[in-house]
Chains A and B, each alone.
Chain A
Amino acid sequence: MRAGGPPLQQGTTTANATGGATTTANATGAANATNGSAAGVGPTAPETISGWLGLGANPDPGVQFLIGIVVASLIATVFLGLAAFAGIWGKRKITAAFTDRIAVNRVGPFGLLIIVADAVRLLSKELIVPEDVDRPAYDIAPMLVPFSALLGFAVIPMGSGLQLADPETGFVFVFAAASIASLGLLTAGYASNNKYSFLGGLRAVAQNLAYEIPLVVTAASVVLFAGTLRMSEIVAAQAEPLVTVAGFAIPAWFAFVNPFAFVLFMTANLAEVGRNPFDVPEAPGELVAGYMTEYSSVYFVLLYLGEFLHIFLGGAIVATLFLGGPAGPGPAALGLVWFMLKVLAVYLFTQWMRSAIPRVRIDQLIEIGWKGMLVLSFANLVLTAVIVGLIV
């Protein structure tokens, strides 16, 4: 599993930090990347590319910037594509499987062309901006939601060397970026001049407040284990075998080390991405379509994609923090595949919940958040701290 160089310098982390993230790209790092070490802390993708281009590890800022943009667009495209795939086709197929149906099968093979048709059709529809909406807030909101999710992906190590940036505070960054979305939802709800949207927006904020804290606190327990906030190192920390059963090593994924935290995190994550039983902000059937009631055409597409991007970001965080990131059997170059599979598994889980579980009421939701999840997550944190203290 631990091919390539040894997992990099636990000790040198602080030293690197002073030089900024890019300075870590030393010769070992480059070698590491070409070896495709999934488990170790590799260089970020822009660094790798500049390495390939023979520009060295630390080219001038302009080039860095350009390469950064290229990689960022690559990542964004991958995930937007994935969101289109899962949001348009996958969602229908999964729901259909849960409910004894077939779903799209006429347009293209397995109905896959529906993705093209749906996307183009939605984009080509008339964009209605109702009277009395609060512009430009009304226009900004649909952009905030998907972009905040995309921002979060920047620091996620996706394996196969694909990571845009690896700042030392990556962990904090990803949660910070993800929670911008609630601002978007509030703006959307408020600016639409529609009471249903408004209710939906307010609910989204109340929900995010209540669940963001347990989410981060639970995730912090992982940080206690790993002893770092850098995403790549959190991944690296999970590469050790936990126990070896009959020559088969079970890796020390934090989901196995601390299942309790994992369950807590998955639950809080459901609330974070607004899926049953916590889909009160959208609450179809109750609030029409919640905060997106008034949006049509492009704006609707953005909100809709944003929703799925957030589910993926949630999945990516789960995969990174609890499921060993891109780790998996086979050559390390397959890291991206494993990573995507994990993300999709989390997505499948959210769709499953959506098909089977009723939604809780808003007051119950808040209560579960503040009185249940928060207490449990702190208990978990203390517990983890004690364990870590004992072991280390």
Chain B
Amino acid sequence: MSSNRETTETGTADAQPTDMQFGEARSASTDSDGPAAEGVVESTQEARMGSGADSRFNSKLRNAFGSSPFILTKFDKFMNWVRGSSMFMLQFGIACCSIEMMHTYAVKHDLDRFGAGVPRASPRQADVIIVPGTIVSKFAPRMKRVYDQMPEPKFVVSMGSCTVSGGPFQQGYNVIKGAEEVIPCDIHVPGCPPRPEALIYGVAKLQERIAEGESAPVTVKPYELEQFGDLQRDELVEHLAADIDEDTLVMRYNWADST
């Protein structure tokens, strides 16, 4: 057993989701039993990467062997090359940026040259989700769900200033201030909208990073999908208690914290 793994299991009390990216559990909503704050950060981060080095890039064999035999290193390298050379994108459009995203797929810019131009409509078959546009309160839970439905290893390209910070709509009462408040992003492509060339650069950069086994850490405290019954009882929760079932999944926005 790898020491790496041991520490995760014993080190933290509530490290249950360590294994979930390769397991069959898919609903990330099950793992957030603590109220907001620290516990939540941990669960998303771990659901995503495990602890320590980003385990999306490591084969399970390596975990099992502990150290890194030459052959496994080569194998990991090969796998990284594979993941970086070819990716299915999720056919996912939100707002203005998706128009430029479609242009990137289409004639002239042709993202498929990089092996990244097959949009799949079903999240089950996609590797990369490009988040092209403004995320608003009503959509964020759905987007989180779509992200959860994608199989690991999965990557996120956030496209446009809206997904960086809320962009031109940052001050809006209904606008999530960046995609990272909901799902972890690997690459940000700023611009409003980014030109197709910029998006291609972003995707190429992502491929490069995957091929090198790098990844971006999750830095922002994300909003989680949690069961309504698990929320801390405050005025708002009490007020809504009559309308919402205990086990309904909800997302709670603390706007004051995110600006």
Residues on A facing B (Cβ under 8 Å): 92, 96, 99-107, 111, 113-114, 116-118, 120-121, 124-131, 284-285, 288-289, 292-297, 300
Contact = CB atoms under 8 A, between A and B. Distances in A.
A294 B124 contact: yes
Interface stretch (B111-119, B160-168, B174-182, B246-254): B111-119
B26 interface: yes
6 contacts: A101-B112, A121-B83, A130-B26, A289-B121, A289-B125, A297-B151
B120 A289 contact: yes
Nearest to A196: B122
Contact of A114 (B106, B107, B115, B152): B115
Nearest to B112: A103
A136 to B, nearest CB: 15
Contacts of A294: 122, 124
B115 A111 contact: yes
Contacts of A293: 121-122, 124
A53 B121 CA distance: 52
Interface in B100-158: 106-107, 110, 112-115, 117-118, 120-122, 124-125, 127, 149, 151-153
Chain A interface mostly: loop
Nearest to A126: B151
Which of A101, A102, A131, A295 has the largest count of B CB atoms less than 10 A from its CB? A101
Chain B interface mostly: loop
A114 B151 contact: no
Contacts of B117: 92, 103-104
B43 interface: no
Contacts of B115: 104, 106-107, 111, 114, 117-118
Contact of A107 (B86, B151, B152): B86
A243 to B, nearest CB: 45
A205 B130 CA distance: 35
B201 interface: no
Contacts of A292: 122, 125
B240 to A, nearest CB: 27
Interface string B64-84: 000000000000001101110
B24 interface: yes
A280 to B, nearest CB: 15
Given A96-B112, A99-B107, A126-B21, A296 B124 contact: yes
A30 B114 CA distance: 50
B29 to A, nearest CB: 12
Nearest to B152: A126
A161 to B, nearest CB: 37
B63 interface: no
Contact of B121 (A113, A130, A288): A288
Contacts of A106: 85, 113-115
A288 B110 contact: no
A104 B79 contact: no
A107 B85 contact: yes
B255 interface: no
B127 A125 contact: yes
A129 B112 contact: no
A333 B242 CA distance: 79
